[in-house]
Amino acid sequence: MSGLITRRALVTGAALGAGALLSGCDRLGRDQRFQSLLKTGERGNYALQRLLQDRTALAEEFRPDQRSPVFRMNGVRMPGGEDYARHLAADFADWRVPVVGAVAHPQAYSMAQLRAMPARTQITRHDCVEGWSAIGKWTGVPLKLLLDRAGVSAQARFIVLHCADPQSNGTMYYESIDLIDAVHPQTILAWALNDALLQPGNGAPLRLRVERQLGYKQAKYVQRIEVVPILAGIYGGHGGYWEDTAGYEWYAGF
Ligand SMILES: Nc1nc2c(c(=O)[nH]1)N[C@H]1C(S)=C(S)[C@@H](COP(=O)(O)O)O[C@H]1N2
Ligand SMILES: [Mo]
């Protein structure tokens, strides 16, 4: 709990210390002081959280009237390239989400299938390292359900979310979480925000909600789900686009 306050205070302090209201994770992420701040204690943080905190504890949930009037859009708001435009025009009728890797039964889901599966709805607060938060109501299928169906192998440790938005360095956005967060009851692949199907700005047609982690872990435009024993070999090996390119800590949990 005090870790939460301390780290939030640190993050906010870093944003202020860097001067100006930085617009975008990008600029903040490339700030030298911010980078070294993130690196400080990453290992310590993950190890400590694992040791001291019950990582199955639930994130706070809110009342409908506590929702933000508008849930801000951040980072990529419209993936570039023809593929996404085509899927969007077709209401994502042909969007497929394969669950592959260290699993006994690889499979691929259509959006219709995912929306027909048992869903969880939760009103939670999203915290971005830029220093803004928003409360929104998310509906989606628990990731655990997909993993149970796929049958994760004994070696599986991480889940990699491959996204559909190309980044400036040529890779696509990607993120990863460990199996503990993956099977957490509030970890869902959301297809609706505030009772409406997701819009492109917030990650249509499918985005991760891993509620005890910071904003950049909440992968939008989820295109493929890969189960792996180790993160080495996934792009730069640090488990995420921001982790690889700007030194963000991989474990961004509270
Ligand atoms: N695919 C993808 N996922 C992403 C991003 C992105 O640029 N691309 N930005 C991240 C960041 S930094 C934040 S704060 C949230 C923003 O989600 P929102 O646009 O729904 O507010 O998405 C995260 N997931
Ligand atoms: Mo963010």
Of 8-17, 157-166, 220-229, the one with minimum mean pLDDT is 8-17
Tell me the per-residue pLDDT of 110-160, one tens digit each, with 9 for 90 and over: 999 999 999 999 999 999 999 999 999 999 999 999 999 999 999 999 999
Ligand 1 pocket test, candidate residues 173, 220, 243, most atoms within 8 A of CB: 220
Residue 7 has pLDDT above 60, yes or no: no
Task: State how far the Cα of 51 lies from the Cα of 210, in Å rounded to an integer.
Answer: 20
How many whole angstroms from 75 Cα to the centroid of ligand 2?
Answer: 7
Taking only the tens place, the pLDDT of each residue in 62-83 is 999 999 999 999 999 999 989 9
pLDDT by residue (tens digit) across 173-209? Answer: 999 999 999 999 999 999 999 999 999 999 999 999 9
Q: Of 91-100, 156-165, 245-254, where does mean pLDDT reach its minimum? A: 245-254
3-class DSSP state for residue 54? coil
d(CA 248, CA 37): 9
In this structure, of 46-60, 145-159, 196-210, 238-252, the range with the lowest mean pLDDT score is 46-60
Mutate which of 70, 176, 216, 248 for ligand 1 pocket (most atoms within 8 A of beta carbon): 216
Span from the CA of 86 to the centroid of ligand 2 (angstroms): 27
Q: Which residue has the higher pLDDT, 16 or 97?
A: 97
Find out whether 68 and 132 touch, Cβ atoms under 8 Å: no
Look up residue 121 and give its amino acid: T
> What is the per-residue DSSP string for 150-185?
H-B-TT--EEEEEEEEEPTTSSEEEEEEEHHHHTST
Question: What does the chain come to in residues?
Answer: 254
Token pair in block for residue 106 = 């690889």
Report the pLDDT value the prediction gives residue 154, as an integer from 0 to 100: 97
Number of H-type helices and E-type strands within the chain: 9, 10
pLDDT (mean) for 1-21 = 41
* Mutual angle of helices 42-52 and 2-17, in 10-degree steps: 160
DSSP assignment of 82-99 equals HHHHHHHHTTTTT-EEEE
Confidence band of 46 (pLDDT split at 50, 70, 90): confident
